[in-house]
Amino acid sequence: MRARNLAIFAAAAMAGVLVGSALGPRPASAVSREIIDLQHDVTALLQGQKDLATQMTQDHTVMKTLVEQSNDNVGKLNATMSAVQKSVQDVQANSGARLDTMSTQVQGLSDNLEEIKSLLGKLNQQIVDLQNTAQGIDAKVSGGAPSGAPTSNPGAASNGPGGVLSSSPAGGPAPSADTLYSNGLRDITSGKYDLARGEFQDYLKFYGDTDLASNAQFYLGEIAFSQKQYDQAVAEYDKVLTNYPKSFKLAPAHLKKGFALIDMGQKQAGIKELRDVIKRYPKTDEDQRARAKLKELGAPVPA
């Protein structure tokens, strides 16, 4: 038994020696190597941190540059959009005046065509009259009429369109009605408003009782409207409505009077005039234009 105990004690002592040797302090060379490795790790970590900071600085610089470029592009885009908006506003502001000018020109051309047709009819009638006169002269010559017998003068003074006034104005005879009216139409359609105004005023002065007098009066209103003299335009259109109650220019005169009132700041009066156009002249071009203007103004449109 004693021998067994001694063996156990010896084994325990040997195990203690082995464990003590394992847990005891390591050699100095091993510690130095670990410190060196740790220093390398710390150095690598510091270098990585430095590289990361450098990369972040570079990225920040790039981002700053991109933001500045984006701001510049946004500023340029805003300037471009402002220019486009201004152009659109200018086009909208001028479209109405251009449409009115085109309408005036189309009306002038239409009236010019009607005037040409009327002139052709007058020429045909004059040809017939000349033929009748020639036949009468031949009959008188064949019948032995005295050589001193008076004959009718086809060019006698008349007061109708195309005729010559019996009393000429100071400075010479007035131009014919056809000449004044045709010249006025030509000049208004080509934008020579001052010249056209004088010609239409002369037409009314010398031929104010002809069928085309109301047209000449209407075009005086159109000239004033085109030159943005809206108060004068209203006065000229009113003369058409008052002096020529059977004129086919009544609807255009009512319509353009409404436009002129609106443009001179009398919006309610202009709206009332446009509604009157819709009431008096349904299903006409003036009716459609009056409705379009009321919609543009945001005013109620009659059914």
Q: What is the pLDDT of residues 104-134, one digit of tens each?
A: 666 666 676 666 656 665 665 565 455 455 4
pLDDT digits (tens, 9 = 90+) for 96-106: 556 666 666 66
- Count CB neighbours of 183 within 10 A: 19
For the ranges 49-58, 69-78, 172-181, 223-232, the one whose mean pLDDT is highest: 223-232
Which residues, including other chains, have CB under 8 Å from residue 248's CB and lie 6 or more apart? 214
CB 173 within 8 A of CB 164: yes
- The pLDDT value given to residue 125: 55
**Structure tokens belonging to residue 283:** 């299903």
At 63 the pLDDT is 75
Please indicate whether residue 150 or residue 190 has the higher confidence score (pLDDT): 190
Q: How many CB atoms lie within 10 A of CB 269?
A: 15
pLDDT at residue 61, as a whole number:
78
The residue-averaged pLDDT of 291-297 equals 96
State whether residue 72 is helix, strand or coil. helix
Helices then strands (H, E): number in the chain?
9, 0
pLDDT of residue 56: 77
More confident residue, 183 or 60: 183
Strands (E), the chain: none
Length of the chain in residues, anyone? 303
* Mean pLDDT over the full length of the chain: 76
Contact 202, 174 (CB under 8 A): yes
Global pTM?
A: 0.49
Q: Does the pLDDT value for residue 259 go beyond 60?
A: yes
Angle, in degrees to the nearest 10, between helices 267-280 and 250-263: 160
Distance CA 143, CA 174 (A): 40
| Nearest by Cα to 276 from 297, 295, 294 | 294
How much is the pLDDT for 42?
80
167: confidence class by pLDDT, cuts 50, 70, 90: very low
Residue-wise over 138-177: b if at least 16 C-beta within 10 A, else e? eeeeeeeeeeeeeeeeeeeeeeebbbeeeeeeeeeebbbb
Query: And the tokens for 178?
Result: 């056809």
pLDDT, mean of residues 63-90 = 73
Residue 74: pLDDT band by 50, 70, 90 thresholds?
A: confident
